[in-house]
Structure 1
Amino acid sequence: TDVGESARFIAETGADALAIAIGNLHGRYIATPRLNIGRLREIDARNGIPLVLHGGSGTSEEDFKSCIGNGICKINVATAMQLAATDEICSYIAADASPNYIDLKSRITEASRRVVAAHIRLFESDGKA
């Protein structure tokens, strides 16, 4: 994300939050992303509105903390949830010759809950809702 373009976009649209690109992307990473935290600082300092990190799954704990400390207020981690659900499906089907939908649905929900809870703790957001 270009710092100047972000300021223009906010001024022209009145956006109250901005999803930015600083080396992140949607989906499954092949390697841990290298986020441009310096660019994040510039965007945050220039704009002063909540920033959003799309494509957070696979980001390091250190980068998450740096992002949160430099203006990121919302982080999307859907891929992490989807991977946990997929692992749970594979594990369940491999262990049970006659799986049933209700049990599978419950296990997927619990796997998703665990991933979300871990991210809430990592983002230091527990107890703040």
Structure 2
Amino acid sequence: MDEGTVEIFLPNSDAVTQQHGFFHGGAIATLADDAAAFAAYTMMEDGRQPLTIEFKINFLAPAEGPQLRAIGTVLRAGRSVAHSRADVFAQATGGEVLVATALATIKATQAVINEQ
């Protein structure tokens, strides 16, 4: 994919579904947040990492099927803040269904170095 765009997947399992068998809203939101943040990360300077500072999601349809696919896209990127969008799709018979869309503001923070 191009700089400023990412695609990530979440397979269906009992760990990410709720009582009706649909993907849980928290799992969908996490996937959308990750897609938006990692899209912004593709445009950050070396030594920077993404940190979500604002996030809004709209759930559009129940999410069911073998997996979810999220596409994160940067709408506008500055040196320290990027605005990204994420669309989450569920695989369904006959194609995909848009189940959620999100907007996020992502800050480029100093990279965290894990010394062990």
Q: TM-score, normalised by structure 1?
A: 0.28
Greater RCO, CA 8 A, separation 6+: 2
The structure with the larger Rg is 1
Give the number of the structure whose residues are more often strand, by fraction. 2
Q: TM-score, normalised by structure 2?
A: 0.31
